[in-house]
Amino acid sequence: MTTDNQTIGFTPLASVVSQQQLVEATSIVGYHSKGNVLVIGSSEDALPAVSQLSELNATLKATVVTIDPQLSAIEKNLTEDGVSLYRSSSLQLEGHLGHYHAVAVTDADKLDLGVGVYLETGLFDLVLDLSSEPHLVSELAPFGYLHAPDDTALAEALTQLPDLIGDFEKPKYFNYRADVCAHSRSELNGCSNCIDVCAANAITTQGEGISVDPYLCQGCGSCATVCPSGAMSYAYPRASDAIDRSRKLMAEQEQCAIALLHSEDHQQQVDEANLAVGVLPLAVEEVTAFGMDYWAALVASGIQRIYLVFDSQKMRSDRDAVLEQAAWFHQLMAGLGVTDEIVIAIDETDVASLTSRVLPENALAGMQTAQFDTHDDKRQTLRMAMDHLYEQLGSVEAVQALPPAAAHGVISIDKSSCTLCMACVSVCPAKALLDGQDSPAVRMIEANCLQCGLCEAACPESAITLTSQYRYDSIEARKILALNEEEPFHCVTCHKAFASQGMIRNMLGKLSSHWMYQDDKALRRLKMCDDCRVKDIFNDDGSKGIEVHRDASAEET
């Protein structure tokens, strides 16, 4: 399915599954539209558009709302043709095809427009926005919302609206695993990559994770590409299926060394191009849905260059996000001695120029291809592919530095400030940080670190620093390293280990001047475990009670 602000297309699922050669089909998202249209604009513009809609298809039933910020109350009129015409100072609008909720708002009152015109569901199916600026602002407008600020856009919208009546289906493109999501822990903010990159505004914060509206999602897949943990993955097709399919096509084509990733939109340009021998066209749902794990798997399988075909008329944030991922991938490859660009973005007009097989001279040409099984675990797939490339090419340095936003790296701890409170360990979503089990310690597995920043945000002493990098040797990257450790502090009463030396020192330093801890007994309790502290307080209070009773008896005597 391919969409933009003015065009919507729903591809029958069976056809798409056949095209993509999926191992498993994903679930379906359905839309139902009866043709109830909300037209936003002045009466001078909107009413002629309504007349044209009626002529095109009598099923299209229109309601008009005009926005005038000067109005103090909502006004309603009925035209001679029976069209409801509302005027309001503002409009609240949200939803998708078959499910648009519109509320007219002024300082004095509110009116649900769908209810006001007695729609069965209280919702509009379609929106035709004639305003100069769209009321729904997103790079990818929701299905059923057509913004037509000029005559050309209006003419196109009027031809599309009759086709948006009926029942429609599309795949649910994504899978989400909340257990490995690095968005939030303990009300602390971590990674927001998927929210920032979503061109359809389909992803929002929910609790300690995120929520994706499947009706707004349009399958660009950039959320899966930028997700550091693999919590968000592309379900249509799955990563493992896409890699296996690409490998199969590579095996069928002689001297395959260049991959050309393109969507169905650019199939005509690919078909008409006289592609050189060794250039393998790969039709995918969206080129933005494939990131470093897919690229690395292809390179490990013999591909030396990957072209991504983009529409020159659509410059969206998801394209920028993919190119940023490509820049990080090039840094990983540079650490292996391959300094040429491998992943290259081109416009659809450039496809015709791929008539010669021009490749840089580097070590990839003579490399033995990989045979490892692919996985739907993003980080594991990338690690296996990089392991193969590291084994074949070696590395310039053991560790490759990466930009701060990259999803691989280490943390360091200022031991003079750290109290080993374990706040960092408790919020780590990737099990990159571990406690010392029987002793006060923070340990780390570098290969697991997402650089999400949750540990840094959780540290009460600001003792944590993040460093983005990639360690090529997987054995070293998977070792458990001690970042900070101390001898345990033992209870002064029962001698049980219950805290770290630094934590007790910190508490004594901060509380010694507090009025509640001015006597030696109170300070000594800070050095006791929980059980002994409670017993000490109880015994102290009990002895005080006995003394009070004795004093009262003496006075009576």
Say yes or no: 78 and 220 in one domain.
Answer: no
Q: Helix H segments across 280-377? A: 292-300, 317-334
Residue in 313, 270, 301, 263 with CA at minimum distance from that of residue 284:
263
| Residues linked to residue 94 through DSSP beta bridges, in sequence order | 101
Residue in 366, 383, 506 with CA at minimum distance from that of residue 449:
383
Say yes or no: 59 and 90 in one domain.
Answer: yes
Say yes or no: 179 and 88 in one domain.
Answer: no
Determine, yes or no, domain membership for 553: no
Burial of 269 (0-12, 13-18, 19+ CB in 10 A): middle
Q: Which residues contact 164 (CB under 8 A, 6 or more apart)?
A: 8, 33, 35, 97, 125, 126, 144
The SS3 call for residue 454 is helix
Distances (CA, A) of 505 to 34, 488, 500, 519: 70, 12, 9, 17
Alpha-carbon gap, residue 301 to 243, rounded angstroms: 10
Alpha-carbon gap, residue 285 to 221, rounded angstroms: 9
What CATH number corresponds to the domain at position 230? 3.30.70.20
- The pairing of strands 409-413 and 464-471 is antiparallel
Determine, yes or no, domain membership for 323: yes
| pTM of the complete model | 0.82
Say yes or no: 243 and 390 in one domain.
Answer: yes
Say yes or no: 245 and 389 in one domain.
Answer: yes
Tokens for 409, please give them: 């790296």
Total domains present in the chain = 5
Say yes or no: 436 and 368 in one domain.
Answer: no
Alpha-carbon gap, residue 212 to 228, rounded angstroms: 17
Determine, yes or no, domain membership for 462: yes
- The pairing of strands 433-435 and 126-129 is unpaired
User: Is the C-alpha dihedral spanning 249, 250, 252, 256 positive or negative?
Assistant: positive
Determine, yes or no, domain membership for 81: yes
Alpha-carbon gap, residue 143 to 215, rounded angstroms: 8
Q: Would you give the end-to-end CA distance of the chain in angstroms?
A: 97
Domain final position from 381, 396, 411: 396
Residue 208 sits in which domain range?
Answer: 172-234
Tokens for 152, please give them: 């050309």
Q: Judge whether 401 and 343 are in contact, CB under 8 Å.
A: no
Per-residue pLDDT of the chain (557 residues; tens, 9 = 90+): 333 332 333 333 333 333 333 334 568 999 999 999 999 999 999 999 999 999 999 899 999 999 999 999 999 999 998 999 999 999 999 999 999 999 999 998 999 999 999 999 999 999 999 999 999 999 999 999 999 999 999 999 999 999 999 999 998 999 999 999 999 999 999 999 999 999 999 999 999 999 999 999 999 999 999 999 999 999 878 888 999 999 999 998 878 899 999 999 999 999 999 999 899 999 998 999 999 999 999 999 999 999 999 987 776 788 889 999 999 999 999 999 999 999 999 999 999 989 887 887 888 988 999 988 887 899 999 999 999 999 999 999 999 999 998 999 999 999 989 989 899 999 999 999 999 887 889 999 999 999 999 999 999 999 999 999 999 999 999 999 999 988 777 888 888 877 777 777 777 777 777 777 777 788 788 888 888 888 888 887 655 544 444 444 444 43
Alpha-carbon gap, residue 286 to 221, rounded angstroms: 7
Q: Judge whether 303 and 251 are in contact, CB under 8 Å.
A: no
Q: How many CB atoms lie within 10 A of CB 541?
A: 9
Buried b (16+ CB within 10 A) or exposed e, 275-308: beebbbbbebbbbbbbbbbbbbbbbbbbbbbbbb
